[in-house]
Amino acid sequence: MLNREQLRDALDRTNAADGACFAALAGGASFRASDDTALRDNLLTIYERRRDHLERLGARTVGSDDFIERLSVADERLRSASVDDEDWHFVVFVNEGGQVVSTWGVEARAADPLADD
């Protein structure tokens, strides 16, 4: 199971979304990781729709420009983690080797309806 420190260490701080997620973790944001893996293609379908929907709504995001591209070239099975603070909700996709493959951040007030997905 992925823990907070492992995720923090795996984030690429040169990437905008990873860096913002790292800062949220360092600031005490909540952290939750799935025990199960999901198929990359299923995640692509879900998150392409979410990204497009939130873009139409004008929601503030970080990582929208490349997170689908990064996700599309990832391993077939991925774990997800959520990092939340007062301002942002991040979803992070991690391969079975513990490497972060894609991160997306959505302004918390825009992400709230997605919290139970």
Residue 109 pLDDT: 82
Residue count (the chain): 117
Considering its fold, how many domains does the chain have in total? 1
Residue 112 pLDDT: 63
Classify residue 8 by burial, with Cβ atoms within 10 Å: 0-12, 13-18, 19+.
middle
Residue 116 pLDDT: 41
Q: Report residue 81 CA to chain centroid gap.
A: 7
Q: pTM to 2 decimals?
A: 0.90
Token pair 């990832």 is at which residue? Answer: 74
- Domain span holding position 25: 4-114
pLDDT tens digit sequence for 58-115? 999 999 989 999 999 999 999 999 999 999 999 999 999 999 999 999 998 876 654 4
pLDDT tens digit sequence for 11-25? 999 999 999 999 999
